[in-house]
Amino acid sequence: MLGPRIACIGECMVELREQPGGLLQRGWGGDTLNTAVYLSRLGACVDYVTALGDDAWSDEMLAGWTAEGIGTGLVHRLPGRLSGLYVIQTDPAGERRFLYWRDSAAARRLFDHLDPHALAAFDVLYLSGITLSILDDAARAVLLRALDDARTRGAQVVFDTNFRPRGWPDPAAARRLYDDLFGLAHLVFASTEDLALLHGDAGEAVLLRHAADTEIVLKLDQPASRVFYAGTEHRIQAAQIDDVVDTTAAGDSFAAAYLAARLRGAAPADAAHAGHSLAGVVVQHPGAIIPRAAMPQPACLQEAPP
């Protein structure tokens, strides 16, 4: 693979999907890991940066990422630790609800073991609000310094808001950290839902005050997005999907396709079309990671709908 080196920083968990009759089907997923998988499938050069346990399920995750072409040189294995776990429940419309078991997950201790200077090898650093939420204050400070160093040396910082209130006992701390990231990031993926949870009715205004210096993709509460770049704004309408099965990883796959397109030189509006196209495929399958055979070709994702 050629092109910029991307580091996706965060947490992957064991995924259990509820099946009829009370059965559970096991896989793995996590917002930044999902994005890493889809980036790799779209031809990007991507590493995943996290910590895992030393158990058999962590072995399985690592092998799966390697099979996907994801670099794992910065995956730390912590003896005696386990990965987090979540259960996906979906309603008849395909909307999902998550139940988490992650308080002692290995990924929370990532910055006890990761040398932040190792991130200097990458051209793009991608993280999310969930990445921030699993770290303690000391680890967040280390990460913010690494991101600031990345900007100084010319690397890009990409931030996906992915706000989960249960991960933030102190909402004020979340608002401060998110504002720090809005100022640090070159590209922000946000949603109106996340911004309302963070700031109420003022959420969009808080983000858009950074629009002069930051590329912003704002996903709406309907199949559409607004893209702000270099003083311009585009509204991108997504195709209507009638057979939604599971909305898990819709935003993660959108971010992957958008970022992959932009790194190939696509205009922001075309990149948003690519994001919506891939997300539209992903929501027609259960779980975070769709079968490789179901992936559309990158060239198809670049085409705006007629």
What is d(CA 276, CA 274) in angstroms, rounded to the nearest whole number? 6
Using DSSP, state whether 47 is helix, strand or coil. strand
**From CA 218, how far away is CA 172, in angstroms rounded?**
22
Is the backbone of residue 38 left (phi > 0), alpha (psi -120 to 50) or beta?
A: alpha
3-state secondary structure of 258: helix
Q: Which amino acid is at 275?
A: G
Q: Which of 12, 90, 94 is nearest to 52 (CA)?
A: 12
Residue located via tokens 């967040």:
140
Q: Are the C-beta atoms of residues 91 and 18 closer than 8 Å to each other?
A: no
From 139, 136, 137, 132, select the one nearest 163 (Cα to Cα): 132
Active site residues: 252
Cα three-residue angle 144-145-151, rounded to 5 degrees: 90
Please state, in angstroms and rounded to a whole number, the distance separating the CA atoms of residues 254 and 258. 6
**21 in Cβ contact with 52 (< 8 Å):** no
Cβ atoms 30, 72 nearer than 8 A:
no
Query: Among candidates 241, 207, 206, 249, which has minimal Cα distance to 227?
Result: 207
Pairing of strands 215-219, 45-52: unpaired
Max CA distance (Å), the chain = 54
